[in-house]
Amino acid sequence: MEFIIEKIGMSRTIDVPSVPVTLLKVVEAKVCEVREDGKALVAYNSSKKLNRSIEGQQTKYGVSKEFNKFMTIEVAEGTEAGELNPAALAEAAVVKTSLNTKGRGFQGGMKRHGFSGGPGAHGHRFGRRVGSIGNAEWPGRVQKGKKMPGQYGNTKITVKNDVVSFDAENGILVLKGSIPGHNGARGLVRIVK
């Protein structure tokens, strides 16, 4: 069973010793239709602009204008069209969270892959460069998958965390440890059986 969540930020418990926790808010979502394969089309609020196709879906499923983004997620058996109830998170012990990592743009090999770089002095020009990337004769090209500078971050990562608590009234899920993404990032949380 999956829920759409928004990362609020990190905090810590007041126990001794304290435990770092991540706070997630369960986004209000409406189930539009349930498919036979255990998945459902849900609508939720997003900053996405309205267009004619979104308005057509809103009219088709009878959802209000504030629910302007649609997504397919897994739901529990017996779920019907209407409100998505996050009460199942209260009994969950472990969840998997999928979010995009923070995007860091184009980065060099030292930051992206942890390369050591060259010496810091004495008249060389190596510095923070990658170094040798290919072979002399065979295969005469750079191998696929070679660690090189490039886009770093903004990739989907899934992590498994223990559930510390769930506030059903406010829809706040507290997970032990950290999860990827910036504060305000939206993603999915899945209950691990």
Tokens standing for residue 191? 């209950």
Q: Please give the pLDDT value at position 77.
A: 83
Q: Please give the pLDDT value at position 84.
A: 84
Q: Please give the pLDDT value at position 40.
A: 92
Tokens standing for residue 167? 């506030």
3-state class of 150 per DSSP? Answer: strand
Report whether pLDDT(48) > 80. Answer: no
The model's pLDDT over 104-116, given as tens digits with 9 standing for 90+, comes to 999 999 999 999 9
Alpha-helix runs per DSSP H in the chain = 52-61, 109-113
Domain ranges of the chain: 2-191
Cβ distance 163 to 174 under 8 Å? yes
- Region 157-178: what's the mean pLDDT? 96
Other beta carbons within 10 Å of 25:
17
Answer yes or no: pTM beyond 0.85.
no
